[in-house]
Amino acid sequence: MRTVTMKFGGTSVGSPEAVSNAVNIVREAVEGGERVVVVLSAMSGVTDALLNSIKMAASGNKWGYLSTARKIRDLHEDTLNILLPPSRLREKTIAQIGALMDEYVEICNAINVLGEATPRIKDAIVSFGERMSIRLFAAILSHMGVNAVPYEAGEFLITDGSHQKAAPLWDETQTRIEQKLIPLLDEGITPILTGFIGKSLDGAITTLGRGGSDFSGAIFAAYTSDELVIWTDVDGVMTADPRLDNRARVLPHVSYQEVGELAFYGAKVLHPKTVQPILERGIPMRVRNTFNPTFPGTLIEENGKPSATVIKAVTSIRDVSLLTVSGKGMIGVPGIAGRTFLAAAGAGANILMISQSSSEQSFCFLVTDMTASDVKGKIEGELGAEIARRDIDRIEIQDDVVIITTVGAGMRGIPGVAGRVFGVMGAHNINVIAIAQGSSECSISFVVSEADLERAVIALHDLALESVAV
């Protein structure tokens, strides 16, 4: 029997209409003879509201977090009242959501008293969104006759203890899924699982990072399913962010590698780690629209089809900073770059792009804005002796920049693609600050001033649009 993991994002469970579409998609698949593992996000806006309430609690704004609790409770209750007739099931589910919100308020009270929240407590707070949405969804689906049962993913998805950016412990997770989740499917249960959250070995709730439900979906798909479907609010993976350029078109086929680059370089439609668990098992993934369920969406698998114009999509990342390490004394001195990146890792930074000039008088790399000054401090500490000797002159931060990336597997081995990309930038008078091409030759990334972001994306998007022109 075919098994499919279906992940529904925040907007796909964000309103009574959305939930109604989503439960129907699951019901139809189950009625069609498929086994379905459902992975859910919190209702849209709930994760942001929960994170915000941590700040309110820490700063003594009790009214603020109590009113957030009220709003979140109402959102779930209203949805249940619209989608379920008065019944014991409805009352029971409303009571469960009420109990979770009471627990949430208690934790906020504790934060209020202490005046701060540890990462572990933050994860506990933010987990309530998904813990509520699964109960709501399972109740509505069981009312439709599907044997749906909600489970908190921590029963199966075991992670390390790095709160807010936890990494799965693969072997432990696989064992739990095989021993505890697959038997549920065998019994004919449709499990409704929380996305985004897991549990560490010491029993604390952890989260996989913002947008992490896609990653959860892929983890569950890897050990249970023949296919992963990411149900979201757009028709598929598109040639550009439709919010930046409304000419964006759906790409019918994309390879794992292409989608990995797209997600890493800012296409919000998928969490960057989504392909990781399914890639080596060759499990195909589709991105589809909950609000347009007859549309086939984008199919992502091993060998995507190269497109005529080579460039398939354009993405961008804002809120990044460019750090430049420069000095004439660096020439030929081994180890400076290595020590710099280790120092950056020590500051918890994720390096998004690296570029070095051939003269070796400087190299630069990009990190998120939030980490930039910590990174600079750590590098100054690490390279203190070189700075004192003036081998290194400067470590500079430039924060009004963005990364633009063009993605397309067909770039491999085809000369002139970079020339076209930078030709377009030149023609639009956009200054390129730094350039990097990954060795996979599946993407070209470069840095421009933030003020040029939209113009650069729109100009490059023309190249990608030629490939999907019908």
Site for ligand ASP, rule CB under 6 A: 9-10, 41-42, 47, 129, 195-196, 210-213
DSSP state of 180: I
Interface region with Mg ion, contact rule CB under 5 A, candidates 139-147, 167-175, 206-214, 286-294: 206-214
CA distances from 153 to 95, 239, 296 (A): 21, 33, 28
Binding-site residue total for Mg ion (CB under 5 A)? 2
Q: Which option in ligand ADP, Mg ion, ligand ASP, none does residue 42 bind, with CB closer than 5 to 8 A by kind?
A: ligand ASP
Interface region with Mg ion, contact rule CB under 5 A, candidates 134-142, 149-157, 211-219, 284-292: 211-219
Q: Is 12 in the site for ligand ADP (CB under 6 A)?
A: yes
Q: Is 450 exposed, middle or buried (0-12, 13-18, 19+ CB in 10 A)?
A: middle
Interface region with ligand ADP, contact rule CB under 6 A, candidates 28-36, 133-141, 228-236, 451-459: 228-236
Distance (Å, whole) CA 447 – CA 366: 9
Q: How far is the CB of 19 from ligand ADP (least distance, A)?
A: 13
Residues 215 and 149 sit within 8 Å (Cβ to Cβ): no
Q: Is 211 in the site for Mg ion (CB under 5 A)?
A: yes
DSSP state of 433: E
Q: Which two tokens stand for residue 470?
A: 């019908």
Distance (Å, whole) CA 396 – CA 153: 43
Contacts to ligand ADP from residues 253-292, by CB under 6 A: 267-269
Site map 291..320 versus ligand ADP, x via CB under 6 A: ----------------------x-------
Distance (Å, whole) CA 262 – CA 269: 9
Q: Which option in ligand ASP, ligand ADP, Mg ion, none does residue 196 bind, with CB closer than 5 to 8 A by kind?
A: ligand ASP
Determine the residue with CB nearest ligand ADP. Answer: 9
Q: How far is the CB of 365 from ligand ADP (least distance, A)?
A: 24
For residue 311, the Cα-to-chain-centroid distance in whole angstroms is 23
Angle, helices 417-427 vs 453-468, to 10°: value is 130
Nearer of residues 270 and 320 to Mg ion, judged by Cβ: 270
Q: How far is the CB of 215 from ligand ASP (least distance, A)?
A: 8
| Of the residues 29, 121, 146, 238, which one makes contact with ligand ADP according to CB under 6 A | 238
Residues 392 and 329 sit within 8 Å (Cβ to Cβ): yes
Q: Are strands 35-40 and 3-8 parallel, antiparallel or unpaired?
A: parallel
| Rg value, the chain, Cα | 24
Beta bridge partners of 367: 321
DSSP state of 327: -
Residues 421 and 404 sit within 8 Å (Cβ to Cβ): no
Q: Is 455 in the site for ligand ADP (CB under 6 A)?
A: no
Nearer of residues 208 and 442 to ligand ASP, judged by Cβ: 208
Nearer of residues 211 and 272 to ligand ADP, judged by Cβ: 211
DSSP state of 12: G
DSSP state of 250: B
Interface region with Mg ion, contact rule CB under 5 A, candidates 9-17, 120-128, 175-183, 362-370: 9-17
Site map 171..200 versus ligand ADP, x via CB under 6 A: ------------------------------
Binding-site residue total for ligand ADP (CB under 6 A)? 19
Distance (Å, whole) CA 111 – CA 124: 12
Nearer of residues 168 and 212 to ligand ASP, judged by Cβ: 212
Nearer of residues 10 and 260 to ligand ASP, judged by Cβ: 10
Q: Which option in ligand ASP, Mg ion, ligand ADP, none does residue 11 bind, with CB closer than 5 to 8 A by kind?
A: ligand ADP
Residues 150 and 135 sit within 8 Å (Cβ to Cβ): yes
* Closest of 96, 107, 1 to residue 54, by C-alpha: 107
* Closest of 398, 389, 397 to residue 327, by C-alpha: 389
Binding site for Mg ion (CB under 5 A): 9, 211
Q: Which residues bind ligand ADP (CB under 6 A)?
A: 9-12, 41, 211, 232-234, 237-238, 240-243, 267-269, 313
